[in-house]
A and B are shown apart, each in its own frame.
Chain A
Amino acid sequence: MKAKKGVTLIELMIALIIVAIGLVAVISFLYASWRDFYISGGIKALQEDMDLAGLNIKAVLEEANYYEIQDIIEGSEPPTGRKIYAKYSEDEEVVWEKAIYHQGNKLVMEDIKNTGTYAIINTLQDISFSDAGEEDTELINTVKVDIKVYKSGKSLENKFSVKVRNK
């Protein structure tokens, strides 16, 4: 009977080395994927906060027929404020009246007419409003918004303009 031939040490080592390389590659890839997923998850959450804030600011300003930038930052040129007051009135009757401003890490919407306040997002780092018409007369009745959100070491910044269509 012919004796069974076993694997040689060299064969075993080659196989182990290949397996080890493969495992290292897979683990490092999985780790990188997990890290990216974690980071992009945080950024995605910030993006969603940014979208939500933008959507609310646009909804209020687009439909207002009066606005006023308040809480002006000293020395800012053009005048830039941390609070915007907006309302829509018809035949001298106020239909709605809101203010949006920074409070702690919250972006707050105040319903002045119905007396209520609620937070739009909890990740606000900074927000400012300025009148685009101050710099460019073609942009009259347009509000520039500069917003920065922050959470767990990650931050996002966005700038957009809203045309106040009913003014």
Chain B
Amino acid sequence: MRLYKRGFLLPMAAIFIFIMVIVGMSILYLGTLERLAVKKRLNREKAFYLAEAGVYRAYAHLKEDRNWEPEEEPLPLGDGTFTVTREDDNNRIYITSAGQVNGVEEKVQLTLGRSGGNSWSQGLFGSIRVTLENNVKIYGYDSSTDPYGNNPDNNAQVGSILLISLKNNSSIYGDASVTSDGSITLTNNSRITGDKNTDTAFEEPLNNLPPVEIPSDLLTASPGGKLTVSGNNTYSLPGGNYRYGEITTSNNSTLKFTGEITRIYVEKKVTVADNSKWDIQGTLILYLGENSNFYVQNNSKIGIMQGSNVVPNLPVDFRIYSASNKNDAVILENNSDMAGIFYVPEGRILIENNRKFLGGIVTNILDLANNVNILYDTNLIDMDIDDDPGGGSKTLKIIRWTKPNWVNRLQ
């Protein structure tokens, strides 16, 4: 009977199909793995370029507005999203962007800093000339670690478009730089310990120092006439904005600036004379008019009062912005000590006779004579000083591009 007949074809077909299924599944499995690997690699590439787009977008925003803050939520773009974060540290901005595509993340970081120059990168700069005569010494120091300049170093920076001249035992403990149109001359035992650069291309704004513009709120402040303090008296000026025709302190008097920030516009003349003192307890910003003079003379001191002594303030806490084009725009002489930053782009500054000065000077003509010691505050280089006409460009440039996940493996 055919019912009991046993065939070979069915088991053989079953075995054949079984083997084919196993082979097919293996191929499918390997193919899937390969496809996943390729897809992940593609996603990684996409995530990287998304991250890079994120940092450059942030950079574009920050060039327009330094205070721009990135969005907190991820922003969609293409097949994924990117998230940007911002960190600020010591005049640098760190922008990190994480691009994400299907769970794959790549990060790119930009370090941003101010582009171009900061005129305080040259400690002492005179567009026309810088002259040192009769035992003048210029050093460097760092006010962030040595506020009183007790440890001068060899990091002075002296610059001029046309001339740096050292005479009679004068020294620059650091570098001197002029353009290819300029010259550096040394006579009678004078020396420069660092580089003598005679083809320097100064960064802006040193090539064309921007003029001082008196802020409109000071120009329109009510005129205070003449402020005079003399005869052992002390006068306190609280913080705020002021406008005077003249300020004179003399004869052992003291003028105290007690506020956090004091801004003063003086139209004509400031005289700190005859052992008088200025006690700057916060920050003093002095704007001087076109026909102004600033004199500090005869054992007078500007700084911070500690008992009866005056110790140097941080240079950034006393700023002079003078629009004067006079030959005696600023004169500091006769044993008077002070710290500050002076920006006098059109006038002349003369410092002479046993003076000690800490900070930075940018001017048209700078003459130093007779036992003057200048300490250039190297901390000014990276400082971002608000409203500083000599502070250089505030636009940002990329200092460093990194992949945060890689950078530590490289160093």
In the assembled complex, which residues on chain A have CB atoms less than 8 Å from the CB atom of B8?
Answer: 15, 19
Tell me how far the C-beta of B18 lies from the nearest C-beta in chain A, rounded to whole angstroms: 10
- Cα-based distance from A62 to B411 in the complex (angstroms): 14
In the assembled complex, which residues on chain B have CB atoms less than 8 Å from the CB atom of A39?
Answer: none
The closest CB in chain B to the CB of A27 belongs to B19
Please give the number of chain A residues whose Cβ is less than 8 angstroms from any Cβ of chain B in the complex.
26
- Known A-B contacts A63-B402, A63-B403; A88 and B12 likewise in contact (beta carbons under 8 Å): no
Q: Is the CB of B23 within 8 A of A18?
A: no
Q: Is the CB of B23 within 8 A of A15?
A: no
Q: Is the CB of B19 within 8 A of A26?
A: yes
8 Å CB contact of B403 from A29, A33, A59, A98:
A59
Query: How many A-B residue pairs lie within 8 Å, measured between CB atoms?
Result: 50
Tell me if B27 is interfacial: C-beta within 8 Å of chain A. yes
Interface size class on chain B is: 20 to 34
Q: Is the CB of B1 within 8 A of A2?
A: yes
- Known A-B contacts A19-B8, A33-B27; A63 and B20 likewise in contact (beta carbons under 8 Å): no
The closest CB in chain B to the CB of A48 belongs to B37
In the assembled complex, which residues on chain A have CB atoms less than 8 Å from the CB atom of B407?
Answer: 63
The closest CB in chain A to the CB of B110 belongs to A165
- Cα-based distance from A2 to B400 in the complex (angstroms): 98
8 Å CB contact of B5 from A5, A15, A26:
A5
In the assembled complex, which residues on chain A have CB atoms less than 8 Å from the CB atom of B16?
Answer: 22, 26
Q: Is the CB of B411 within 8 A of A95?
A: yes
Tell me if A166 is interfacial: C-beta within 8 Å of chain B. yes
- Cα-based distance from A30 to B26 in the complex (angstroms): 11
- Cα-based distance from A15 to B26 in the complex (angstroms): 29
- Cα-based distance from A15 to B16 in the complex (angstroms): 13
Tell me if B401 is interfacial: C-beta within 8 Å of chain A. yes
Tell me how far the C-beta of B138 lies from the nearest C-beta in chain A, rounded to whole angstroms: 22
Q: Is the CB of B26 within 8 A of A33?
A: yes
Q: Is the CB of A62 within 8 A of B403?
A: yes
In the assembled complex, which residues on chain A have CB atoms less than 8 Å from the CB atom of B400?
Answer: 65, 88, 90, 166
- Cα-based distance from A15 to B13 in the complex (angstroms): 11
- Known A-B contacts A37-B30, A166-B400; A18 and B9 likewise in contact (beta carbons under 8 Å): yes
Tell me if A150 is interfacial: C-beta within 8 Å of chain B. no
- Known A-B contacts A5-B5, A19-B8, A37-B30; A59 and B406 likewise in contact (beta carbons under 8 Å): yes
Tell me if A69 is interfacial: C-beta within 8 Å of chain B. no
- Would you give the 0/1 interface string for B209-250, flagging 1 where the beta carbon is closer than 8 Å to chain A? 000000000000000000000000000000000000000000
8 Å CB contact of A62 from B4, B19, B401:
B401
The closest CB in chain B to the CB of A29 belongs to B23
- Would you give the 0/1 interface string for B1-33, flagging 1 where the beta carbon is closer than 8 Å to chain A? 100110111001000100110010011001000
Tell me if A96 is interfacial: C-beta within 8 Å of chain B. yes
Known: A96-B410, A96-B411. 12 other contacts (CB 8 A): A2-B1, A4-B4, A18-B12, A19-B8, A22-B12, A29-B23, A59-B403, A59-B406, A59-B410, A90-B399, A90-B400, A113-B411
The 7 closest A-B pairs by CB, nearest first: A15-B8, A165-B401, A96-B411, A96-B410, A22-B16, A59-B406, A19-B12
> Which residues of A approach B to under 8 Å, CB–CB?
2, 4-5, 15, 18-19, 22, 26, 29-30, 33, 37, 51, 59-60, 62-63, 65, 88, 90, 95-96, 98, 113, 165-166
